[in-house]
Chain A
């Protein structure tokens, strides 16, 4: 049977449209992880470049009685350095006057989104430094606790200073999952002790921290890692000595009204920073199945 004619339907009235519901979902994007786990400094003053010093050391030798010892290579103290050159990353948005007048996207919202976008860009840039580390542990397939501990061993074996500070393992979400799965499946008595279970039982924090393994390795899980072949490039490193970054205190936003170009307001935000590897031997990259 066909539709009945001449019924007063919903469409016959003038209705309220587009009422905002109470729920507003944030964007499904990653959080910033790396800035908190590296050596950080403000921007250098009056120059775009800065040098991070790596101290050298001397070598002593045994000396027989009544023997002269002239200055030699063992006594020549040489420091080295790595250079940072400050770069700029930016994001520009245009908001039409119609959106400004009638829409719900405010200038504050644009500024906040610009800040978040820049933070993700900087974070991914820092994550890409993992690929440059000269020591690697490649998992047979998925990441295991043993792989992470082998990385830890190599950092300790390189005599990276401040061993009392827990190392940071910045993993992909899959790597984190595989570590947890290994704990669950191992059946080892140690994992029935609640104080050892943080990495399994804890919830991810805003800075991507997901828990500690026996108090000596802090795990962080995030996305945006580089890949190599079929592997994700993660890393375990010393937070004080492996990587460094120079950061401006905050992004700068310019607001400019554009008339002849289309009646919109341009929001342009830029941020100065550089991230770099400082001491290669204080980090080990962990490659496991993507």
Chain B
């Protein structure tokens, strides 16, 4: 079975794609790094390459110092997600966000998200992301228009029947 390459917010290096093939998004709050690491081999070769690293931010929204430490090592943030939100669809995660806000109304994962986004900003191809979203919007608009037309036809049939 062909495994899909996980699509990250920041474009990974070519070498990292093999690690992202079949990579599954964890169920907990995470920050995904592309590592910069030395691959050592039995024949004595030592080659600088990449790898993947997932930083667990579940129950640890104050993990900035770890992020900074890994960035200083030359790692890049590729992706992040599953941060608990006040309006989370999962009530337990929404409760967790509220619990960690200590009643102050500030979700600490929102701050972490801002921090992570800021660290990623120079790497994100905003134009590409904007055009992706625009494409998605135009596809959805098209679908909406088709559904609207179908509804109009149905309504006109119903009208005729009632007459």
Contact = CB atoms under 8 A, between A and B. Distances in A.
Interface of A: 49, 82-85, 87-90, 121, 124-125, 128, 131-138, 146, 150, 154, 226, 228-230, 276-277, 280, 284-285
Interface of B: 18-23, 33, 35-40, 42, 51-56, 59-60, 62-66, 69-70, 73, 75
Residue among B33, B38, B40, B52 with the highest chain A CB neighbour number at 10 A: B40
Given A87-B62, A90-B59, A132 B40 contact: no
Summarize B's interface: helix, strand, loop or mixed. Answer: mixed
A89 B22 CA distance: 31
Q: Interface on chain A toward B: helix, strand, loop, or mixed SS?
A: strand
A146 B40 CA distance: 12
Nearest to B75: A132
Given A84-B65, A87-B60, A134-B73, A228 B52 contact: yes
Contacts of B64: 85
A127 B35 CA distance: 17
A280 B69 CA distance: 11
B38 A136 contact: yes
B73 A131 contact: no
Which 5 pairs show the lowest CB-CB distances between chains A and B? A131-B53, A229-B19, A135-B38, A134-B37, A87-B60
A230 B62 CA distance: 30
Contacts of B73: 132, 134, 280
Contact of B66 (A124, A230, A276, A285): A276
B65 A85 contact: yes
B40 A229 contact: no
Given A90-B59, A134-B36, A135-B37, A146 B42 contact: yes
Contacts of B22: 229-230
A32 B59 CA distance: 19
A85 B23 contact: no
Contact of A131 (B20, B54, B59, B62): B54
Contact of A82 (B23, B60, B69): B69
Contacts of A132: 33, 35, 53, 70, 73, 75
Contacts of A226: 53-54
Contacts of B63: 85, 87
